[in-house]
Structure 1
Amino acid sequence: MFGAKADRCDIGVMVAMLLFMILSLNGVVSGADPIDTYCPSEFPLYSLNSSFHNNLKLVLRLLSSDNASKAGFYDTSIGQGPDKVYGQSLCRGDISNSTACKECIEKASRDIMNRCKSENAMIWYNLCQVRYSFQSFKVVAYTGKYPQQNNEEKKVSDPIRFREYLTYLMSNLSDEAAFNPDKNMFAAGEVDYPGNKTIYGLVQCIPDSQCSSCLTSAFTELTECCSDLEAGIILDRTCNIRFQLSQFFNASSAYRLIYPTSTGGKWKSWMIVLIMCGSVLVLALLIGLATACLRRKNDRERDEEISERTLLQELSTPKSVAVTEEGDLISSDELLFMTLAVIKAATDDFSDTNKLGQGGFGAVYKGVLPDGNEIAVKRLSRKSWQGMEELKNEVILIAKLQHKNLVRLLGCALEGDEKLLIYEFMSNKSLDQFIFDPEKRSKLDWKTYHGIISGIARGLLYLHEESRLKIIHRDLKPNNVLLDHELLAKISDFGMARIFSENQNAANTKRVVGTYGYMAPEYAMEGLFSVKSDVFSFGVIMLEIIIGKRNSGFYMTELAPTLLAYAWRLWNEGKELDFVDPMLLESCDASEIVRCVHIGLLCVQENPEHRPTMSNVVVLLGSESMVLPQPRQPPLSLGRVLRADPSTTTNPSVKEMIFSDILPR
């Protein structure tokens, strides 16, 4: 009798535990707040009951359907033109219950509708994530997010040792997710940590993504922010990575890893300490001797040698960290280095026949690698410290940037005095050779030029808003916009670029660098720069494309002091078509090109707060129905004292002059 009662009690306990687990899971899905939400205010807001809003509701309904939940990952789109909505959902890989997946997506869909009215948004929960946008998801760029909950975690007692175990666990999980087809780009696991503790980790990517690259970038950020904490998480649009000291996933789908330990050594703790102290002492003596020898040299030569050696070491060391003279913290992960011999062979030893042009920091040569790929090689001036700074900025800043409207940096070569940057080859060279050459200009129609304008805009949008950090180019001009064989525009030359943190909007510098005619007035006059500085430069380029004349030398036309003053005068007189190159009017609708003049004037308004963001510019360029605000006056004159860039060995033209001092008007 007692045995029967005991069996019934055991069954009752098991049922109660099962119900508790189900209720707990439902609580995570339906009651908890999201881990994070991406709802940028820079993108346009959709109107209630608009075509975009109705398409969005249909997309979210599809994502919450039974078929989508069973699949775990679902990608769809509804609509046409500017009202088209792209949607995507992903459930965590260890959820075997499609009901839990469905409930999570339904909850996420409701929340993202309530929290966001932007045309581009994403929300992450413990068990799922939901994303929608007016843009296609085909262009993928890493934009990792750091959730607030990381700031609430406790620190571990031994961060160095903890990082070793964490790296071992997450590296193995990343390899499983990225390279094992059976895992569907998901992996979870655990590793024992000294002190009777266990580290639990999880990684996941969306299907058909560059999983390894995304997880590598995410783990780099996880290491920097959270490797001394008891838990951490990094979220991206295409992957996420997470760890903590308590189990948070389904154990049945997890790996159990054993951290490798040495078996043959008999080293005592005091012996290790003694050897380490001795090594530090010897190293200190060597450093002291080296310092004493360096002091015997000429001060100026010593400073130059130390600076260049330090910079080369920063560039040559993976995951190095460097701080610029103006306080920017920048890091480098993986750099592709080529040998000088390979580059010499590719360029026929930098022969004049392969020379593509001469810039402020050195010459550019065409080359062909042994595999037949064409490259462009920038050979920085041998004794130019500015050249070294540009190399550092380009390599560390843009080595990881991937966008079809940015010139791709393939690698670099550092041997002796040679400092080389290797880029993809652009067969049609730079934009200025087309828009300011009457013969070449006549070969392109307005549709092609409009595509070039849109390409530059999308490249800037990526730098300002879609890459992990805001990047300000600071020297955008037609010379720095290159065209490939299909006349696709690609922004180049990031030697003067600066990076902003997520919450930073503007900065100030005492060292104003740039090109006359393209610099925003607040930057030229006060050293203030922001994303709106690049918007101003973009507006100047846009107006130059339309009229076919340079802003920098426009005063010689006797039409007006500047191109901007001329455009503004004609706009106020209602004679916008007089500003347009007559050749372009033969291949376009007059209203379309007048609209572009209007957008250009919006970009070059004197007050940076009045200028649109690049996300707004992209939307305006792609829509003919959106009403444009009236532009305000651009800067009509700007006094200046110019000096030539000292790093160049040739006589610079007006367009290659650099600001030295700016006088108020």
Structure 2
Amino acid sequence: MASHDRGRIPSYLAAATVLLMALLLPPLASSQWPKCDMTSNFTQNSTYQANIQALSTTIPKNVSSSRTLFAFASVGTVPDIVNALALCRGDINASACGDCVANGFKDAQQLCPYNRVAAVYYDTCYLVFSNKNILSATNGDNGALILSNLQNVTVPVKVFDAAVSILINATAEYAAVNSSRRFGTGEEGFETIDKANPKIYGQSQCRPDMSPADCRSCLADIITYIPKYFTGRRGARVLGLRCNYRYEQYPFFTGPSLLQLPAPSVGEAPSPAPDNVTPPPVGGGSTRNGTVRILAIALPIVAAILAAVVICFRQWRRKSKPVARKASLSYPKNQEAIQTIDSLILDLSTLRAATDNFDESNKLGEGGFGVVYKGILPDNEEIAVKRLSQSSRQGIEELKNELVLVAKLQHKNLVRLLGVCLEEQEKLLAYEYMPNKSLDTILFDPDRSSQLDWRMRFRIVNGIARGLQYLHEDSQLKIIHRDLKSSNVLLDSEFNPKISDFGLARLFGSDQSHDVTNRVVGTYGYMAPEYAMRGNYSIKSDVFSFGVLILEIVTGKRNSVAYDSEHAVDLLSLVWEHWTMGTIVEIMDSSMTSHSPGDQMLKCMHIGLLCVQEDPADIPMMSIVTVMLSSSTVSLQAPSRPAFCIQKSDMNYSGMHTDPYPGVSHSTSRSPMSPNEVSITELEPR
């Protein structure tokens, strides 16, 4: 295989010997192609190396247990934070996937010793780790690894290239639209190649966290390399961080092909090269004119066939699931959002079998929108199924909003949406199962709160902070959650936090700083004053809620309970009272204070107070908060009196009251309160 990596070759000279050996050897399952960035290194036995080692145990396990064979994780804090992601080819089994990624960590540290940024590609998986945000990285000439078989075909080059182009484009479209793993394979007849194996085999893949439109665009970019680098080559592949494809004259993937294309006619010519790609030189004018005529005939026919296939598939899908397509559900008008929803559709029969037909013994909890059940899929993956009430119109609006937003998000501190079912009047959402339920069920339980020692609580604080920073600043979308609270933070088996429930979330433009609504929604006690009083919300509204959460986690006290103090009536007032009196240690959770670092707990209380300031301009961004939490050298400014910090004598003038029912969501006097655990949904255009 010959490698081309324009613009980045100087960074990878250390791996030249390894690459040369890979070129000279025949293609094996263990073939590897490293990419090492030698511009930034770490030292032996450093924190960065320890963080890589920690990821080497979690990533292989996570990727092998993932339904999509994809995993992302982050360990540590700046400047030693390590982000890692792994993706396996969509046709291999979970065990082989985990083994491949585990080998990636071993090989990366041998092939790219002490490099902070490294990637290792194999036939069946790839692994990359970096101290940068690799989820938002894009493909391009500088990012993709281009590998080509050195042997040329012995058949007409134009016909062969045309067949390859049609095959790879077909698998790319399948991967983008029809596969939850963003993976497609295909085979195409080509009898003149080899009588013993008269076919071309192709495969395309994107990362599963990408939308269909992003996947299609990514593959379209690198498919332009076919006429640029692979003219007449027997096999080739392009390995990018976000998408990849491969074609060969022999079957290299397992299982049957997902697509089977007929053999092209001998007279077919290749698709024209894009404007920015120089096509291979052609002969005289008559040959060129003949090619143009063939293109004029062949391309419309191919396009018509592909369009017919897509239309027939969608018509069949509509007929097989008529209830899921009812217009009354009011799907978003945005085509990309609709395609994202389609890729998550699950069968009702699957979820009924997983939950034993929603048996009462599998019930995990119940809220204002319906009941949540535990389920087990056929591959033994545990899930949580939210069954929305059939009579709840608010449930439909929340479901629609949650689908469009959560389906596009991928972060270890955000709960993963696995699928949706809209059949027979059912409205079902399937999430990854969180065995330790929500934070409030442990934090405020006198019998269980001791399970959360300070190490766990500090990890929970950091995890929530990173999840919010991703929503506000690091993801491709800019999202305001608007209902961050302890019951919307779920805990996995190792008590890692995951933010959930995006039914009230709002999407902001990249340059949008705030918005105003006439109906205030959310949960009393967590809402910022400018939002509760005037309907003005921004990313600072979520930071305010996060500040309340920090104070709850350190003190072990609910913010919505009245406290019998001489001056304080709520948690913010109570914390401020002790802060000003210098007795803040007295209100820290007694179940952990005797064996915990008091200075770290005090810093968290300080940060929590900075996040609940009355003026949004005084509230820090989440990126600043994460730096405060991770750094021991950053000096913190003195906090002012927090918002909603009221004296007992002021209660009659506050327009608020103490919530006697923990966990109940309320609005301000601007809009009606919502019963049970329901947050009122805004019915406003988006």
Under TM normalisation by the shorter chain, which class is it? 0.5 to 0.7
Shift of 1:247: 3.1
- In structure 1, C-alpha distance between the alignment counterparts of 2:494 and 2:299, rounded to whole Å: 60
SS in 2 for 1:442: helix
Match of 1:432 in 2: 440
Does 1:393 find its partner at 2:401?
A: yes
Shift of 1:583: 2.1
Q: 1:600 aligns with which of 608, 613, 616?
A: 608
Shift of 1:172: 6.0
Match of 1:32 in 2: none
Residues 540, 551 of structure 1: 8 Å contact kept: yes
CA gap of 1:582–1:532, structure 2 versus 1, over 3 A, is: same
Does 1:442 find its partner at 2:442?
A: no
CA gap of 1:359–1:260, structure 2 versus 1, over 3 A, is: farther
CA gap of 1:477–1:618, structure 2 versus 1, over 3 A, is: same
Match of 1:513 in 2: 521
Q: 2:275 aligns with which of 246, 250, 270?
A: 246
Match of 1:284 in 2: none
Match of 1:314 in 2: 331
Shift of 1:490: 0.6
Equivalent AA in structure 2 for residue 481 of structure 1: V
Equivalent AA in structure 1 for residue 135 of structure 2: A
SS in 2 for 1:356: strand
Q: Which stretch has the larger CA shift, 454-463 or 576-585?
A: 576-585
SS in 1 for 2:415: coil
Residues 144, 468 of structure 1: 8 Å contact kept: no
Match of 1:136 in 2: 131
Q: 2:42 aligns with which of 50, 56, 78?
A: 78
Kindly report which structure 2 residues correspond to 1:526-537, keeping only aligned pairs within 5 A, or say none.
Answer: 526-537=534-545
Residues 139, 241 of structure 2: 8 Å contact kept: no
Query: How many residues are paired up?
Result: 456
Shift of 1:84: 4.2
Residues 142, 467 of structure 1: 8 Å contact kept: yes
Kindly report which structure 2 residues correspond to 1:31-42, keeping only aligned pairs within 5 A, or say none.
Answer: none
Does 1:377 find its partner at 2:380?
A: no
RMSD across aligned C-alpha pairs, in angstroms?
Answer: 5.1
CA gap of 1:398–1:63, structure 2 versus 1, over 3 A, is: farther
SS in 1 for 2:383: strand
SS in 1 for 2:460: helix
Kindly report which structure 2 residues correspond to 1:645-656, keeping only aligned pairs within 5 A, or say none.
Answer: 653-656=661-664
Does 1:586 find its partner at 2:594?
A: yes
Shift of 1:474: 0.5
Q: Which stretch has the larger CA shift, 486-495 or 501-510?
A: 501-510
- In structure 2, C-alpha distance between the alignment counterparts of 1:264 and 1:574, rounded to whole Å: 78
Kindly report which structure 2 residues correspond to 1:123-162, keeping only aligned pairs within 5 A, or say none.
Answer: 136-137=131-132, 140-142=134-136
SS in 2 for 1:571: helix
Match of 1:417 in 2: 425
CA gap of 1:85–1:407, structure 2 versus 1, over 3 A, is: closer
- In structure 2, C-alpha distance between the alignment counterparts of 1:212 and 1:251, rounded to whole Å: 34
Q: Which stretch has the larger CA shift, 511-520 or 573-582?
A: 573-582
CA gap of 1:309–1:177, structure 2 versus 1, over 3 A, is: closer
Kindly report which structure 2 residues correspond to 1:107-506, keeping only aligned pairs within 5 A, or say none.
Answer: 136-137=131-132, 140-142=134-136, 171=169, 216-219=212-215, 238-239=241-242, 245-248=274-277, 309-310=326-327, 312=329, 314=331, 320=335, 332=340, 334-506=342-514
- In structure 1, C-alpha distance between the alignment counterparts of 2:429 and 2:380, rounded to whole Å: 18
CA gap of 1:395–1:333, structure 2 versus 1, over 3 A, is: closer
Shift of 1:240: 8.8
Match of 2:228 in 1: none
- In structure 2, C-alpha distance between the alignment counterparts of 1:413 and 1:407, rounded to whole Å: 18
- In structure 1, C-alpha distance between the alignment counterparts of 2:539 and 2:339, rounded to whole Å: 21
- In structure 1, C-alpha distance between the alignment counterparts of 2:429 and 2:481, rounded to whole Å: 18
Equivalent AA in structure 2 for residue 141 of structure 1: L
Residues 487, 663 of structure 2: 8 Å contact kept: no
Residues 512, 524 of structure 1: 8 Å contact kept: yes
Shift of 1:244: 9.1
Residues 542, 600 of structure 1: 8 Å contact kept: yes
- In structure 2, C-alpha distance between the alignment counterparts of 1:168 and 1:214, rounded to whole Å: 23
CA gap of 1:78–1:263, structure 2 versus 1, over 3 A, is: closer
Identity among equivalent positions (%) equals 42
CA gap of 1:264–1:420, structure 2 versus 1, over 3 A, is: closer
Residue ranges of structure 1 left out of the alignment (5+ in a row): 1-27, 30-59, 89-119, 122-131, 147-166, 179-204, 225-236, 266-305, 323-329, 645-651
Match of 1:97 in 2: none
SS in 1 for 2:427: strand
Residues 77, 84 of structure 1: 8 Å contact kept: no
Equivalent AA in structure 2 for residue 464 of structure 1: H
Match of 1:549 in 2: 557
Greater helix percent: which structure? Answer: 1
Residues 324, 422 of structure 2: 8 Å contact kept: no
Shift of 1:503: 1.3
Shift of 1:504: 1.3
- In structure 2, C-alpha distance between the alignment counterparts of 1:593 and 1:239, rounded to whole Å: 40
Equivalent AA in structure 2 for residue 427 of structure 1: P
Cα deviation code 1:109-150 (max 9, x no counterpart): xxxxxxxxxxx99xxxxxxxxxx99x735x75347799xxxx
Shift of 1:599: 0.9
Does 1:630 find its partner at 2:638?
A: yes
- In structure 1, C-alpha distance between the alignment counterparts of 2:576 and 2:324, rounded to whole Å: 47
SS in 2 for 1:438: coil
Residues 533, 668 of structure 2: 8 Å contact kept: no
SS in 2 for 1:657: coil
Equivalent AA in structure 1 for residue 275 of structure 2: S
- In structure 1, C-alpha distance between the alignment counterparts of 2:519 and 2:324, rounded to whole Å: 19
CA gap of 1:349–1:64, structure 2 versus 1, over 3 A, is: closer
Residues 554, 561 of structure 1: 8 Å contact kept: yes
Residues 482, 522 of structure 2: 8 Å contact kept: yes
Equivalent AA in structure 2 for residue 312 of structure 1: L
Cα deviation code 1:318-344 (max 9, x no counterpart): x7367xxxxxxx973643222222222
Residues 341, 403 of structure 2: 8 Å contact kept: no
CA gap of 1:251–1:565, structure 2 versus 1, over 3 A, is: farther
Cα deviation code 1:255-298 (max 9, x no counterpart): x9997956999xxxxxxxxxxxxxxxxxxxxxxxxxxxxxxxxx
SS in 2 for 1:74: strand
Equivalent AA in structure 2 for residue 74 of structure 1: C
SS in 1 for 2:524: coil
Residues 11, 36 of structure 2: 8 Å contact kept: no
Residues 78, 86 of structure 1: 8 Å contact kept: no
Residues 174, 215 of structure 1: 8 Å contact kept: no
Q: Which stretch has the larger CA shift, 503-512 or 427-436?
A: 503-512
Equivalent AA in structure 2 for residue 419 of structure 1: K
